Amino acid sequence: MCAAIRKAVIPAAGLGTRFLPVTRSVPKELLPILDRPMLQYVVEEAAEAGITDVIVVTSPGKEGIAEYFRPRPDLETRLSDDAQLLEKVRSGANLADVSFVIQEEPLGLGHAVLTAREAVGAEPFAVILPDDIVDHSPGVLSQMMAAVAGEDGAAAVAVERVPWELVQNYGVVDSEPAGEGRHRVRGMVEKPPPGTAPSNLSIVGRYLLPPQVFDCLERTPPGARGEIQLTDGLALLMEDVAVYACEFEGIRYDGGNPLGLLRASIEHALKRDDTRDAAADLVRRLAAEL
């Protein structure tokens, strides 16, 4: 992946069924870890990796997502004498140039990425799933870019090791080692039946992709539920370009389900200067009562 990556696609057009009923009106991607939406965390990660253009894929009914990134002059006027609050109000809008494309129907992650084809154009780009949160500096995208620097035209996917007994719940790669924390991918298997997994390297929602992936996604047949899967598109891409799996530093939180988001919130509260002590007291008290 030689050329610098300037653009990132953030698919945010899913139904969020695991968070019903709240997702009837609040997009999952805007649910907060403490006080910041998950979407904000991943836009920050993209900006930190040098990405200047963020393309968010949304859907009809999730207008709140675009709303979040709109300037709020009314609020800024009201809070004009409080620098800290002003900074918070502006934090969403200032990180990158954020634009939106609409996926009319939730036809899968691969289809969501394909929806962004025109906005991305003919250049390599990143894909970031906003419900996979990794709190680490440097961020996962930066780490992946470093891991494949100089690999002309290659693609990359982030992976983390999961316990073998849980591997059937994840998408995993079939790969061989290709350097420190890096693997050359031969294939990908979604939720392998017990005892059949080719590795315990599970796929995390960060990808670096060359523009050829769009042609692959066009050729990808829909799967069981009529959805076009990104991993199926990557299987086709693998015929033409090298795909690497990159392990990364940092803990991944699964913000795609309520308990995962709760865990992320508690652990973030325990790390943040302004909440650490009160959060630790709370956790100790709750633990003592169990």
The site for ligand UTP (CB under 6 A) is made up of 11-18, 28-29, 57, 103, 106-109, 111-112, 129-131, 256
Instruction: Name the residue nearer to ligand UTP (CB basis): 106 or 139.
Output: 106
> Rounded to the nearest whole angstrom, what is the least distance from the CB of residue 220 to ligand UTP in the complex?
13
Q: In the complex with ligand UTP, which residue's Cβ is closer, 131 or 232?
A: 131
The distance of closest approach from Cβ of residue 48 to ligand UTP in the complex, given in angstroms and rounded to an integer, is 20
Structural contact between residues 86 and 80, judged by C-beta atoms closer than 8 angstroms:
yes
Q: What minimum distance in Å lies between the beta carbon of 126 and ligand UTP?
A: 14
Q: Specify the residue, 59 or 142, whose C-beta has the smaller distance to ligand UTP.
A: 59
To ligand UTP, the closest distance from the beta carbon of 20 in angstroms equals 8
Helix (H), strand (E), coil (C) string for the chain = CCCCCCEEEEECCCCCHHHCCHHHCCCHHHCEECCEEHHHHHHHHHHHCCCCEEEEEECCCCCHHHHHHCCCHHHHHHCCCCHHHHHHHHCCCCCCEEEEEECCCCCCHHHHHHHCHHHHCCCCEEEECCCEEECCCCCHHHHHHHHCCCCCCCEEEEEEECCHHHHHHCEEEEEEECCCCEEEEEEEEECCCCCCCCCCEEEEEEEEECCCHHHHHHHCCCCCCCCCCHHHHHHHHCCCCCEEEEECCCCEEECCCHHHHHHHHHHHHHHCCCCHHHHHHHHHHHHHHC
Nearer to ligand UTP, 109 or 279 (CB): 109
Our CB check for ligand UTP shows the closer of 26 and 107 to be 107
Q: What is the 3-state secondary structure (H, E, C) of 231-290?
A: HHHHHHHCCCCCEEEEECCCCEEECCCHHHHHHHHHHHHHHCCCCHHHHHHHHHHHHHHC
Shortest Å distance, C-beta 41 to ligand UTP: 13
Residue showing the smallest CB distance to ligand UTP in the complex? 14
Closest approach, Cβ 257 to ligand UTP, in A, equals 7
CB of 115 to ligand UTP, least distance (A): 8
What's the min distance (Å) between Cβ of 17 and ligand UTP? Answer: 3
Comparing CB distances to ligand UTP, the nearer of 28 and 183 is 28
Name the pairing type of β-strands 243-247 and 155-161: parallel
Nearer to ligand UTP, 207 or 269 (CB): 207
C-beta closer to ligand UTP: residue 108 or 210: 108
